[in-house]
């Protein structure tokens, strides 16, 4: 850059754009919370249900359902976009803002992770891996705001897993379709159905692992509150009047459990989903066959050129 | 047979099924225990490799947990999702029989 000068951090325009980015981060999530409050029916007690259905779009085969998890995941996406715009606003060659250092740290860490796990050939994949990891982590963390975490809906995680499955298949077909089908019968032909199931099991296990962990955390968090309320009633029930009604065990304990079930397992699963994506995709490339194919193609090309000349 | 009795029987059997499904929790328990034991041994032998061992351990534990999570999903579905559909199905068949 030739006309690279430090942006005026104090100027009104810079600040307005900053506030816009921050609003982009917060407003979608707030809108989701309001939507949830508007659509939740008044009820008492514990209710563990799936994602609420906001509205249905009529379609010829069956209505397309727009559910809470879809809306929330789009809100999380917009919010992450806002975060990225905020972090990368006012980049300079020499870092002046703290946020630039944060952004550089994230990018460097992600590049290093992808390079270490996927090798040189895939080192351009860090944006995709970072996107999957960030979306998964923030989706799981959105349950801290009282939203229905998109990852506790099986449809969302299966969608990601299908995406990863297509990527794996693409790289497996690099060695040639015929080689792939022969590889299914590899040790002995009897193994073909088992190998086929193994191919499909990868995305299924990825999707169900993530979904199961987040969902079980949400269910346990939903059950533990009322259970502790009942327990404290049992302990303090003999006190007269209002004193016996205070659910003192509900103070703090659910929050401590939530650190494990919501925060830790959500972040853990995000990391594992990204890790498995990297390992599966980079392990899917049949290097020997691919190189052989490349050389064959090159040889054919030179042969054609020779015959043409 | 009385409809309420049939519903009660069905709910009870669903609860039993969920309980039996959670027997699968034994597997990951043993597996993760083994993994942690080996990790502790490794750290004891080479304390400087603690960071690497810990991160690999957490990753491996989360993957070993998968079978337990499958069982948990089955149990959760049996307890919270299946009764709604099955009881509705039962009532419909009783109505048709009448």
Residues B29-38: tens digit of each pLDDT: 999 999 999 9
pLDDT digits (tens, 9 = 90+) for A68-86: 889 999 999 999 999 999 9
Q: What is the DSSP letter of A134?
A: H
Q: With CA atoms as reference, report the closest residue to A141 among A152, A131, A130, A132.
A: A152
Number of folded domains in chain B?
1
User: Cβ contacts (< 8 Å) between A212 and chain B: which residues?
Assistant: 66, 69-70, 72-73
Q: What is the DSSP letter of A63?
A: P
- Using DSSP's 3-state secondary structure scheme, residue A158 falls into helix
Query: Which domain CATH number covers B85?
Result: 1.20.20.10
Residue A278 scores a pLDDT above 60: yes
Collect all residues from B whose CB is shorter than 8 A from any CB in A.
Answer: 58-59, 62-63, 65-66, 69-70, 72-73, 76, 80-81
**Which of B62, B70, B73 has the CB atom closest to A272's CB atom?**
B62
User: Cβ contacts (< 8 Å) between B70 and chain A: which residues?
Assistant: 208, 212
pLDDT of residue A4: 54
Residue A10 scores a pLDDT above 90: no
Average pLDDT, chain A: 86
pLDDT of residue A7: 66
pLDDT digits (tens, 9 = 90+) for A135-162: 999 999 988 888 888 998 888 999 999 9
Residues 6+ apart with CB under 8 A from A259: none
Domain boundaries, chain A: 65-308
Mean local confidence (pLDDT), A157-171:
93
pLDDT of residue A2: 44
Half-sphere exposure (Cβ direction) of B92: Cα atoms closer than 13 Å: 6
CA-to-CA distance for A24 and A69, rounded, in angstroms? 19
The model scores a pTM over 0.90: no
CA dihedral (A159, A23, A108, B61) positive or negative: negative
């Amino acid at each position: 850059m030739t006309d690279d000068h430090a942006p005026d951090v104090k100027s009104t325009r810079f600040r307005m754009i900053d506030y816009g980015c921050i609003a982009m981060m917060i407003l979608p999530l707030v809108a989701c919370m309001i939507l949830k409050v508007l659509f939740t029916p008044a009820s008492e007690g514990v209710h563990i249900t799936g994602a609420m259905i906001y509205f249905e779009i009529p379609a010829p085969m069956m209505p397309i359902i727009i559910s809470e998890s879809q809306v929330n995941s789009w809100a999380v996406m917009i919010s992450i976009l806002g975060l990225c715009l905020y972090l990368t606003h006012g980049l300079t060659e020499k870092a002046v803002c703290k946020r630039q250092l944060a952004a550089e740290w994230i990018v460097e860490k992600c590049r290093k992770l992808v390079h270490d796990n996927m090798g040189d050939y895939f080192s351009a994949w860090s944006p995709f891996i970072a996107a999957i990891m960030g979306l998964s982590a923030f989706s799981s963390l959105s349950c801290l705001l009282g939203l229905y975490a998109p990852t506790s809906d099986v449809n969302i995680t299966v969608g990601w897993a299908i995406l990863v499955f297509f990527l794996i298949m693409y790289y497996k077909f690099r060695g040639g379709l015929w080689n792939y089908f022969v590889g299914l019968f590899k040790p002995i032909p009897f193994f073909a159905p088992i190998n086929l199931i193994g191919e499909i099991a990868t995305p299924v296990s990825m999707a169900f692992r993530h979904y199961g962990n987040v969902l079980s955390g949400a269910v346990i968090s939903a059950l533990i509150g009322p259970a502790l309320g009942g327990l404290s009633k049992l302990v303090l029930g003999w006190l007269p009047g209002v004193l016996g009604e205070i659910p003192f065990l509900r103070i703090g304990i659910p929050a401590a459990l939530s650190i494990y079930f919501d925060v830790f397992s959500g972040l853990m699963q995000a990391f594992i989903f990204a890790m498995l994506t990297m390992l599966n995709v980079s392990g899917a490339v049949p290097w020997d066959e691919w190189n052989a194919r490349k050389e064959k193609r090159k040889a054919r090309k030179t042969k054609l050129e020779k015959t043409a000349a | 047979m009385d409809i309420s009795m049939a519903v009660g029987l069905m709910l009870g059997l669903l609860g039993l099924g969920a309980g039996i499904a959670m027997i699968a929790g034994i597997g990951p328990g043993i597996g993760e225990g083994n993994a942690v034991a080996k990790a502790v041994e490794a750290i004891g032998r080479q304390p400087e490799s603690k960071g690497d061992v810990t991160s690999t351990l957490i990753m491996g534990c989360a993957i070993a947990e998968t079978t337990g999570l499958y069982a948990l999903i089955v149990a959760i579905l049996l307890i919270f999702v299946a009764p709604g559909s099955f009881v509705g199905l039962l009532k419909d068949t009783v109505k048709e029989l009448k």
